[in-house]
Amino acid sequence: MSKQIASGAVVARILLSTATLLCTATALVTLTAVLDLGSCGPALGLPSAEIESLTKHLDAHKQVLTPIAKALTFSHTKAYDEDFQSACQSGHEAIDKALASGSGKSLAIVSDLDETLLDNRPFFEKIESKSEDQISWDDFESWQKTVKAKPLKPTEDLLAYARSKGVAVFFVTGRMERLRRVTIENLLKYGIAYDGLYMRANGDEQDASTMKSAYRKQIEDMGFEIVVNIGDQYSDLQGGHGLDCEKLPNKIYFIH
Ligand SMILES: [Mg+2]
């Protein structure tokens, strides 16, 4: 009897282990799919339509156009404008939804800077005959120091709207700390109001997604709920710590 119970228990354990393995495998497949999408949204219940939208963006990126001239041409098309506007509109809606929920939490929006708020196309226009892998990031930094990058209006409006509603604005950028002064100068030049600027430590070479998600966690640890995380790179959005992720179009370059 006790042997039968023991055998039954062994069978039950085997079945449980098998089920656990299957669940784990399913979870891993799902997780891999989520990571492939590069979105913080799916793990937080992003609607499938938005996952489809992210997939569409990813597919679009796989068709990266080179030389840079072609990517720049795309950035002046109606499709680019619609993609950009649509992402920012979704950001507006996510803010409204969070405010309407009346959770009483301190809300925040996290935004990337380059190609999200600051438009560096004048720099890329000067090297348009080159391809993405020929971009000199030292020259790019020299351009950033000129503080000539103008704001991209849909993002500028989204951030202004957030702040007008009492939602804090935090910038999380891959720009190195050594560019802090010129970056603040560039933001002030165009009257961009914000509450915090998180930059990559000088010499830091970790993945952008690792660096940026750690900063978002810091923001959450201060007591904020990040209602929107917006950027032009999937690495801006990977790693969680954001209720709503908005991917902006950028075919000029890709950052891991
Ligand atoms: Mg960017």
Q: What is the pLDDT of residues 56-93, one digit of tens each?
A: 555 555 555 558 999 999 999 999 999 999 999 999 99
Distance 233 CA to ligand 1 centre (A): 6
Contact 256, 235 (CB under 8 A): yes
Four-CA torsion 227, 232, 238, 243, nearest 10 degrees: 10
Distance 154 CA to ligand 1 centre (A): 15
Distance 245 CA to ligand 1 centre (A): 14
Strand (E) or helix (H) holding 244: strand 244-247
Type of residue at 159: L
Distance 108 CA to ligand 1 centre (A): 19
Q: Residue 124: CA atoms inside 13 Å, Cβ hemisphere, count?
A: 22
Contact 85, 249 (CB under 8 A): no
Burial of residue 213, with CB atoms counted within 10 A of its CB: 0-12 exposed, 13-18 middle, 19 or more buried? buried
Distance 33 CA to ligand 1 centre (A): 23
- pLDDT beneath 50, residues of the chain: 1-48, 51-52
Q: What is the predicted pLDDT for the residue at 103?
A: 82
> Angle formed by the axes of helices 78-101 and 153-164, to 10°?
10
Q: What is the predicted pLDDT for the residue at 6?
A: 40
Distance 25 CA to ligand 1 centre (A): 34
Distance 224 CA to ligand 1 centre (A): 23
By the CB criterion, residues less than 5 angstroms from ion ligand 1 are: 112, 114-116, 232
Return the SS3 of 128.
Answer: coil
Indicate if the alpha-carbon torsion angle 80, 139, 153, 179 is positive or negative.
positive
Q: What is the pLDDT of residues 202-232, one digit of tens each?
A: 999 999 999 999 999 999 999 999 999 999 9
Distance 161 CA to ligand 1 centre (A): 20
Task: Name residue, tokens 């999380």.
Answer: 172
Distance 86 CA to ligand 1 centre (A): 17
The pair phi, psi for residue 230, each rounded to 5°, is: -125, 140
Q: What is the predicted pLDDT for the residue at 24?
A: 38
Q: What is the predicted pLDDT for the residue at 67?
A: 80
Nearest CA-CA partner of 161 in 105, 77, 89: 89
